[in-house]
Amino acid sequence: MLKNVVAVLLDGVHPFELGVVCEVFGIDRSEDGLPVYDFAVVSAEGPTLRTHCGFTVSTPHGLERLEEADLIAVPAGESYASRDYPPALLDALRRAVARGARVLSVCTGVFVLAEAGLLDGRRCAVHWHNAEELSRRHPGVTVEPDVLYVDEDPVITSAGTAAGIDACLHLVRKEQGPEVANKIARRMVVPPHRDGGQAQYIERPLPKGPCDTVGEVLVWMAEHLDREVTVEQLAARAHMSPRTFARRFQQETGTTPYRWILRQRVLLAQRLLEGTDETVDSIAWRAGFGNAAALRHQFVRALGTTPNAYRRTFRGPQAA
């Protein structure tokens, strides 16, 4: 049952992420026939906390309020990836999960759940900017850098900022049905479910690594994405055997030639969808996919959304 909900705060909390939880669970919408949650904001570090924007928030509730909660939400905060957390908070989170409660994080709030050991052996979501740091600090956690949220019941984690709305509405939909979630979404003027994942918002899907022996070949590949090339042809350009080239390529880029080209083609298609009025067919040809069907297939695999949906997101409905 989802009735008693708590948002637990640490010093440096981000107001928007806190507001997400308050908006979904902290407003009385009973006049619309929607459930009313027993909601409270709890401080883990004293009655008054500083937000990362400079103002303060106060609450009379302490950690004892967590003992009766069905859901404990941890919004993001400043330096959550590198700070220490009150042992009493970590203990309270572990007890909550042990007795059957759920915990939910918004963006960097996931670091608190990881520190409590609640993500060991589980998948989780976090803002793509923090994915590498989370993996480094908690190697027992499987980080999913491309998705908006991950439901590993009883632990739910979400990516940056507005993805917290997606995770909260997902939980409402799961517990109280799509009609309730849809009505709350309409009141908030947000989509009840968004297409795709956060991969479509990442600025550089394939980080550039240091290159030595294959650097010139990478430049040529990037300039000729519309061509079909083989490892043998690329190896000849690098004056290596195909086996040696493939090994060096993997060492210096962290991936295979095929996957590198595929990611660069998707990235080019993204730029063309955002910045031009070209048709999807034309973009598919320029990016080396050959036709719109092939582009759509690879685009959905890489970003979780279609080219037209991506264009609408970043250029508006009229662009499609």
Q: Each residue of 88-136: pLDDT tens digit?
A: 999 999 999 999 999 999 999 999 999 999 999 999 999 988 999 999 9
C-alpha to C-alpha distance for 6 and 17, rounded to whole angstroms = 14
Q: Give the mean model confidence (pLDDT) for residues 273-278.
A: 88
- pLDDT band at residue 14 using 50, 70 and 90 as cut-offs: very high
Q: Are residues 167 and 240 in the same domain?
A: no
Reading the block at residue 63, the tokens are: 């950690």
40-67 confidence digits (pLDDT tens): 999 999 899 999 999 999 999 999 999 9
Please measure the distance between the N-terminal and C-terminal CA atoms of the chain and give it in whole angstroms: 42
Asked if residue 207 belongs to a domain, the reply is: no
Phi, psi (deg, nearest 5) at residue 63: -65, -20
The mean per-residue pLDDT over the stretch 138-156 comes to 93
Query: How many domains is the chain built from?
Result: 2
159 and 287: one domain?
Answer: no
Residues 166-225 have pLDDT tens digits of 999 999 999 999 899 989 999 998 887 776 677 666 665 444 555 568 888 988 998 899
Do residue 185 and residue 240 come from a single domain? no
For 90-100, write each residue's pLDDT tens digit. 999 999 999 99
Rounded to whole angstroms, the Cα distance separating 157 from 125 reads 5
Same domain, 162 and 235: no
In degrees, rounded to 5, the angle at the alpha carbon of residue 4 between the alpha carbons of residues 76 and 9 is 25
Does residue 199 lie in a domain region? no
Share of the chain above pLDDT 70, in %: 93
On whether residue 30 sits in a domain, the answer given is yes
Q: 142 and 183, same structural domain? A: yes
Strands (E), the chain: 4-9, 38-43, 48-50, 56-58, 71-74, 102-106, 123-125, 142-144, 149-152, 155-158
Whether pLDDT at 252 is above 90: no
**Does any domain span residue 202?**
no
Residue found under tokens 């059957």? 100
Give the angle 303-308-309 at the CA atoms, nearest 5°.
60
The first and second tokens of residue 260, run together, are 């590198």
Residue 241, SS3 per DSSP: coil
**CA distances to 258, 264, 290, 318 from 307, in Å:** 21, 15, 14, 14
Q: Write down the pLDDT at residue 202.
A: 63
Which one-letter DSSP state was computed for residue 117? T
Tokens for 30, please give them: 């009973």
Residues 263-274, mean pLDDT to the nearest whole number: 90
Q: Are 250 and 256 in contact (CB under 8 A)?
A: yes
pLDDT for 82 equals 85
Of 139, 163, 194, which closes a domain? Answer: 194
**Residue 60 sits in the same domain as residue 152:** yes
254 and 284 co-located in one domain: yes
Residue 294 corresponds to which amino acid? A
What's the CATH number where 245 sits? 1.10.10.60
pLDDT (mean) for 297-311: 89
CB atoms within 10 A of CB 304: 19
**CB-count exposure of residue 164 (10 Å: 0-12, 13-18, 19+):** buried
Whether the per-residue pLDDT at 84 is higher than 60: the answer is yes
In a domain, 270, yes or no: yes
- Report the percentage of the chain scoring pLDDT > 90: 69
CB neighbour class for 50 (10 Å; exposed up to 12, middle 13-18, buried from 19): middle
Please indicate, yes or no, if residue 210 is contained in any of the structural domains: no
Q: Are both 185 and 36 inside the same structural domain?
A: yes
Q: What is the CATH number of the domain that holds 148?
A: 3.40.50.880
Domain that holds residue 56: 4-194
Please give the mean pLDDT across all residues of the chain: 90
